[in-house]
Structures are given as structure tokens and as C-alpha cells.
Structure 1
Amino acid sequence: MGIGNIFRAFQPKDKIFFVLFEQVADKLIDMSKEFHEGIKDFDINDDTLLKKMSDYEHQMDDLTHEIFVQLGENFITPFDREDINYLAAGLDDIADYLFASAKYIYLYKSPEVKQYSELSLLIYKSCVEIQNAIKNLKEFANPKEVKESCIKINSFENIADDVLSQGIVDVFESNDPIKIIKVKSVLEYLEIVTDKAEDVANTIENIVIKYA
């Protein structure tokens, strides 16, 4: 029995989406934690981390696809279909850009800089708060906790902006044009991940405003 059939058989129609979103959030936790730990022990000659990020990205694609399948098959949804679409796409964007960050680190053989791990930690913390927000979003029982998580995610994104700026300043001081191009590109991809997390937080907060 495929994953879709299992959900149809054992889950109330409007509960399927929360189950899937929680699975997506759990997957992002695993992916971002593995990325952060891999960055701390980075080795440009070992592509294990890149392969793991690729696997996570494919798993996220599968979960996102299942959400869209369920959206097409079910009339009853826990909140607006448009919001389900935005939330699913936003969560998938986080995984896409995290994988892209890993890919460019290896393609560029980019030297490790401290801002990589600083940004990866902010990404992991953002994913933890996304997980908390989605869990508390269920049945709109804890809107206060959801909003607090969203505020934290917005704060992490602001910090990431500062880390990006400082990282660019530091790498320009090297006066090495090739290094500047490589490091600046990776830093910008990592910062985009925090932007995508903030987009997810904004979507979740809008859902709470509508329904809580």
C-alpha cells in the first residue's frame, strides 16, 4: 500500500495535512542539523554531506508532492487551500536552498569561513521553531506559542542579515577575487535559507490570524 493509500485509510480527511506538515518539519530538523554538523567538520574532498543533503531534498520533494496530491483529492481542509499551497511550497524552498548551499560549497571548493557555521546554526534554530509552530498550529489550540515561534524566526533572519554583511566585509579584506566570488555566493545562498524560513513564519502567522 502506497503512502497516499495509508493516509486515506487511517486519517480523517482534514487531519492528513497536519500529519504531512509535521513530517516535513521533522525532515527539515534532520536536514538542517546534519548540515550544521557537517559544516563544522567540513572537508572539501569528502562529498558525503552533499549526498546526504541531496537525499533529504528528494525526500522533501516526495512529501511536498503528497501534500499537493491530498490537496487535489480532498474537499475538506483544515485551512484555506491557498495557504496550504503557500506553506508546502515555502517549506520545500528551505530544503531546496539548503541543498543548493551545500552544492555550491562543494562545486566551488569554497574555503570554510566562520560565517558558514554561524548561518547554518541560525538555519537549524529556525527549523526548530518551524517545527514548534506547526505542532502548535494543529487545531489552532496554541496561537500564542505559534506567534512566539514566528517572532523568533524573524529574529533569526535579522541576525542572518548581519552575519552575511560581516562575512562579506571579512572576505573582501582578503583581496582575493576568486575567494570573494566563492564565499560571497555561498553566504548569500545560506542567508536566503533564513529568508525562506521567515516566509514560512509569515505564512503560518497569517493562518493563525485568519483562524485562531
Structure 2
Amino acid sequence: MRRKQKTDFYFASFSKAIEFSRQEALMLYDVLQGFQPENLPKVMEEMHKLENSADISKHEMMEKLAQEFITPIERDDIAHLAQELDEITDHIEDIILRMYMFNIQSIREEAFDFAKVIIGCCEQLKTALADFDNYKKSKIIPQAIIEINSLENEGDKLYTKALRSLFTTCKDPIEVLAWTETFRHMERCCDACEHAANVIESIVMNNS
């Protein structure tokens, strides 16, 4: 029973980590839908609280990992996945920060599509991690990883489309710079989700 509790802690912590990311992604979409530039400082504060909570949860996991000899999967794998999940929350927060720093005043259509892709990636990761303690027999995890890979590819195409539209329709060089950076960070969110999915897939393959 004691070992099961230790096992549950790590898998529960992974699920907790991606839930922070999912909440951030939903917040991002809400910000874009009802965009008001003057509200960005308040949004940044709220999102930073989520990111800080994610950091605290990660540190708790690392502290426990440092004290334990027996772990459900390799120690390096636990640390690696924890870091990749943490990257997702960081990148989503970076989007809002860029919008504020570059004083974005209106939202381009492709940003909504990007936000939906990011939400989809986070939700598929949440699905995969909810069954992670059953990784040796899970049929849910491989399907979720396929979906994440597909969404990341969609994000790549969207990035190309967004920049093409930006450079062919926008005449303000400052706005071009602002959205180039913002779209770049949106695309990095999709990449971060795929990186986490790749770590999950590697762990499953190496332990099956």
C-alpha cells in the first residue's frame, strides 16, 4: 500500500501540472474573445498565479524525488517530464506578456485558431496523463499522442498561414513585429506540448 501511494503521487502530480496549463490555455482564449488591452495587467497577474502554482507543485515533486530511492518510473524520466510540462505553462504565460509588452490593440483571426489548438493539445495531454499509471496496458495514451502530433502539425501550418497573412495585409511595421513575436510564442506552445507527448511516448516504450 505504501508503494502504491508513492506511485500515485507522481502520476497525480503530472495530471495536476497539465491542468494548470489547460487552465492557462482557456484563460488565453477568453482574453482573445473579449479582448480589452487595458485588462492585460490584471490577466497577467492571474496567469502568473497559475504559473507560480505550477512551479510550486513541480518543486514539491522534485523534493520528494530527491528523498526517495524507489520510484514508479526512472528518476530521470520523472524529472524530464516534469520539466517539459512546466515549459508549457511558461510558454502560455509568455504569449500574454508579449501582447502586453508590444501593446497589441486588436486581435488577428489566426490567434483564435492558435488558442484552440493549444487548448486541444493540453486536453489531449490531460487525457494521456489521466491514464499514465496504466501506461503498460493503456490504449488511451497512444491515441492521445497521435492527436497531439496532429494538432502540432496543424499549429505549424497555422504559423505559416498567420505570418503570410500578417506580412501581406499589415502595413504597420510595429504591428508586424508584435504579431510575429506573438505568433512565434503560440507556435512554441504547440511544440512544448508535443515535446511532453514525446517524453510520455518514450517512457511507455522503454518500460513496456
Which TM-score bucket, shorter chain as reference? Answer: over 0.9
Contact 2:28 2:115 in 1 (8 A): yes
- 5+ residue gaps, structure 2, are none
**Match of residue 55, structure 2, among 38, 45, 61:** 61
Q: Residues 3-26 of structure 1, C-alpha deviation per residue, up to 9 Å, x if partnerless?
A: xxxxxx997222211121121122
Contact 1:13 1:74 in 2 (8 A): no
**Match of residue 14, structure 2, among 16, 21, 36:** 21
Contact 1:172 1:180 in 2 (8 A): yes
AA in 1 matched with 2:56: D
Counterpart in the other structure of 1:178: 174
Contact 1:157 1:195 in 2 (8 A): yes
The CA distance in 1 between the partners of 2:50 and 2:32, in whole Å, is 16
Greater displacement, 70-79 / 43-52: 43-52
How many residue pairs get aligned? The number is 204
Give the TM-score normalised by the residue count of structure 2.
0.93
User: 1:53-92 maps to which residues of 2 (within 5 A)?
Assistant: 53-92=47-86
- Tell me the secondary structure at the aligned position of residue 175 of structure 1: coil
Counterpart in the other structure of 1:32: 25
Counterpart in the other structure of 2:124: 129
Contact 2:128 2:145 in 1 (8 A): yes
AA in 1 matched with 2:164: V
Contact 1:29 1:128 in 2 (8 A): yes
Counterpart in the other structure of 2:184: 188
- Tell me the secondary structure at the aligned position of residue 37 of structure 2: coil
Q: What value does the CA root-mean-square deviation take over the aligned residues?
A: 1.6
Shift of 1:45: 1.1
Contact 1:29 1:124 in 2 (8 A): yes
Contact 1:130 1:201 in 2 (8 A): yes
Counterpart in the other structure of 1:52: 46
The CA distance in 1 between the partners of 2:183 and 2:17, in whole Å, is 25
Give the TM-score normalised by the residue count of structure 1.
0.91
Q: Where does structure 1 differ by over 4 angstroms across 4 or more consecutive aligned residues? A: none
Q: Compared with structure 1, are the counterparts of its residues 187 and 82 closer, same or farther at alpha carbon in structure 2 (3 Å cutoff)? A: same
Counterpart in the other structure of 1:6: none
Contact 1:14 1:76 in 2 (8 A): no
Counterpart in the other structure of 1:197: 193
Q: Compared with structure 1, are the counterparts of its residues 200 and 18 closer, same or farther at alpha carbon in structure 2 (3 Å cutoff)? A: same
Counterpart in the other structure of 2:90: 96
Q: Compared with structure 1, are the counterparts of its residues 89 and 166 closer, same or farther at alpha carbon in structure 2 (3 Å cutoff)? A: same
The CA distance in 2 between the partners of 1:115 and 1:52, in whole Å, is 24
AA in 1 matched with 2:142: K
The CA distance in 2 between the partners of 1:116 and 1:49, in whole Å, is 17
**Match of residue 145, structure 1, among 135, 140, 153:** 140
- Identity of matched residues, %: 24
Contact 1:90 1:199 in 2 (8 A): yes
